[in-house]
């Protein structure tokens, strides 16, 4: 078989604020790959099927000399991120051709993984598409579950405020929180998202672009639990209307990713209200909570009790557009790029 094109998404230019489609990353088709003869050196040749596009990736589109919790993407190299692929060839005894793997993949059509250290063999329930396994049944769902279980200390009747409540993490937090008997206030940035948050059980929903968060919290708070995906002024407002002994779960602060973090207005409230803040990364919590997630959450996705939305773009050349959409919040569900059908 002749070599075929191996399309790749390369990091091309460090964005000044928001990622710029066609500039920040570029889709490159200059490489080819010969499936049968490409040397694997003990590794695994994977056909990439689905890629997860997530807000945190903005932090990797930076200059390498700036330190952060994840390394910068190297300029000129393919992006990397979560995804699902199918094995075409394998020189690793633990996995054979035809198997599906989930984990860390390069943003290219075909990828040779040196080993399984960043991948896991995965099967799916026949009622769920593979895409769900990088969304509600994957990293975002596990993030919601592990963060909530580890840090919410939720007690029945308490009040939680969940930001980006229609997103892949926030929407799962809402549904898990409701199981704990918590009153849920949830915010998002469009009427369609507000409608979805209501459908999945949030008690108080609002569009933060048209409704003043302080008015809502004044009426519906004080809040015992705050799930932060946004930071900035919303975090300040949440602190103002926080109850004593409240828990603030710091999952992300997208308001700061593109134009810099806004300062926290009144850090004195942390001690004055005996507040607790918990930053976390899923990788650290996953070993502790993964089994419970499989047992408690995935069956509810299969049965349809837990709901989710997906926004699937087709083709690796769409990555640049999707990177911007998830920073602007214009995507309408878990942002996924379908690279290929099986």
Q: CA separation (Å) from 334 to 76, 109, 256, 296? A: 27, 21, 20, 21
Contact 18, 328 (CB under 8 A): yes
**284 counts as binding a second copy under rule CB under 8 A:** yes
* DSSP reduced 3-state for 170: helix
**209 counts as binding a second copy under rule CB under 8 A:** no
Q: Give me the least distance between CB of 329 and a second copy, in Å please.
A: 18
- Among the listed ranges 157-165, 216-224, 275-283, 310-318, the one in contact with a second copy (CB under 8 A) is 275-283
Q: Give me the least distance between CB of 134 and a second copy, in Å please.
A: 21
**108 counts as binding a second copy under rule CB under 8 A:** no
**64 counts as binding a second copy under rule CB under 8 A:** no
Nearest of 76, 82, 77, 73 to residue 48 by alpha carbon: 82
**268 counts as binding a second copy under rule CB under 8 A:** yes
Site string for a second copy, 142-181 (x = CB under 8 A): ----------------------------------------
| Interface pick for a second copy out of 37, 68, 117, 126 (rule CB under 8 A) | 68
Q: CA separation (Å) from 110 to 33, 73, 89, 132? A: 8, 19, 11, 21
Nearer to a second copy, 23 or 245 (CB): 245
Q: Give me the least distance between CB of 4 and a second copy, in Å please.
A: 40
- Among the listed ranges 91-99, 198-206, 262-270, 305-313, the one in contact with a second copy (CB under 8 A) is 262-270
Structure tokens at 45: 């040749």
| Interface pick for a second copy out of 89, 129, 279, 317 (rule CB under 8 A) | 279
Distance from C-alpha of 97 to C-alpha of 91, rounded to nearest angstrom: 10
Contact 249, 226 (CB under 8 A): yes
**274 counts as binding a second copy under rule CB under 8 A:** yes
* DSSP reduced 3-state for 270: helix
Q: Where are the alpha helices (DSSP H) in 21-137?
A: none
Nearer to a second copy, 179 or 290 (CB): 290
| Binding positions for a second copy, 43-62, rule CB under 8 A | 59
Q: Give me the least distance between CB of 66 and a second copy, in Å please.
A: 11
| Interface pick for a second copy out of 23, 127, 244, 288 (rule CB under 8 A) | 244
**278 counts as binding a second copy under rule CB under 8 A:** yes
- Among the listed ranges 131-139, 186-194, 271-279, 320-328, the one in contact with a second copy (CB under 8 A) is 271-279
- Among the listed ranges 33-41, 155-163, 274-282, 324-332, the one in contact with a second copy (CB under 8 A) is 274-282
Nearer to a second copy, 110 or 257 (CB): 257
Contact 313, 52 (CB under 8 A): no
- Among the listed ranges 33-41, 97-105, 155-163, 257-265, the one in contact with a second copy (CB under 8 A) is 257-265
**15 counts as binding a second copy under rule CB under 8 A:** no
Distance from C-alpha of 27 to C-alpha of 282, rounded to nearest angstrom: 29
Burial 208-235 (b: 16+ CB within 10 A, else e): beeeebbebbeebbbbbbbbbbbbbebb
Q: Which residues pair with 314 in a beta bridge?
A: 338
Number of residues counted as binding a second copy (CB under 8 A): 35
Q: Which residues fall within 8 angstroms of residue 235, CB to CB, at 6 or more apart?
A: 226, 228, 248, 253, 264
Q: What is the sign, positive or negative, of the torsion defined by CA atoms of 267, 268, 273, 279?
A: positive
User: Which residues contact a second copy by CB under 8 A?
Assistant: 59, 68-69, 228, 231, 235, 244-245, 250-253, 256, 261-281, 284
């Amino acid at each position: 078989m002749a070599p075929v094109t191996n399309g790749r998404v390369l990091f091309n230019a460090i964005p000044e604020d928001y990622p710029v489609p066609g500039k920040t990353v570029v889709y490159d088709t200059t490489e080819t790959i010969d499936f049968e003869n490409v040397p694997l050196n003990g590794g695994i040749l994977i056909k990439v099927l689905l890629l997860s596009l997530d807000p945190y990736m903005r932090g990797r589109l930076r200059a390498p000399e700036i330190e952060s919790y994840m390394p910068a993407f190297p300029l000129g190299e393919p992006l990397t991120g979560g995804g699902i692929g199918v094995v075409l060839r394998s020189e690793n005894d633990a996995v054979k051709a035809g198997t599906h793997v989930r984990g860390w993949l390069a943003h290219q059509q075909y990828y040779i993984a040196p080993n399984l250290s960043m991948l896991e063999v995965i099967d799916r329930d026949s009622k769920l598409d593979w895409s769900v396994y990088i969304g509600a049944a994957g990293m975002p769902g596990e993030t919601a579950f592990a963060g909530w279980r580890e840090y919410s200390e939720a007690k029945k009747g308490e009040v939680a405020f969940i930001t980006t409540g229609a997103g892949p993490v926030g929407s799962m937090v809402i549904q898990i929180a409701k199981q704990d008997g918590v009153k849920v206030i949830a915010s998002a940035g469009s009427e369609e998202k507000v409608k979805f948050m209501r459908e999945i059980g949030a008690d108080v929903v609002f569009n933060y672009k048209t409704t003043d968060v302080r008015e809502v919290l004044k009426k519906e708070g004080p809040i015992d639990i705050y799930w932060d995906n946004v930071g900035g002024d919303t975090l300040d407002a949440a602190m103002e209307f926080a109850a004593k002994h409240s828990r603030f779960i710091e999952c992300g602060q997208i308001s700061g990713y593109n134009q810099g973090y806004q300062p926290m207005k009144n850090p004195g409230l942390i001690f004055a209200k005996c507040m607790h803040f918990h930053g976390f990364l899923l990788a650290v919590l996953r070993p502790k909570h993964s089994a419970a997630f499989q047992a408690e959450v995935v069956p509810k996705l299969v049965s349809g009790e837990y709901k989710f939305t997906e926004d699937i773009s087709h083709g690796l050349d769409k990555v640049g557009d999707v990177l911007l959409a998830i920073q602007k919040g214009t995507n309408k569900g878990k942002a996924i790029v379908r690279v290929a059908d099986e």
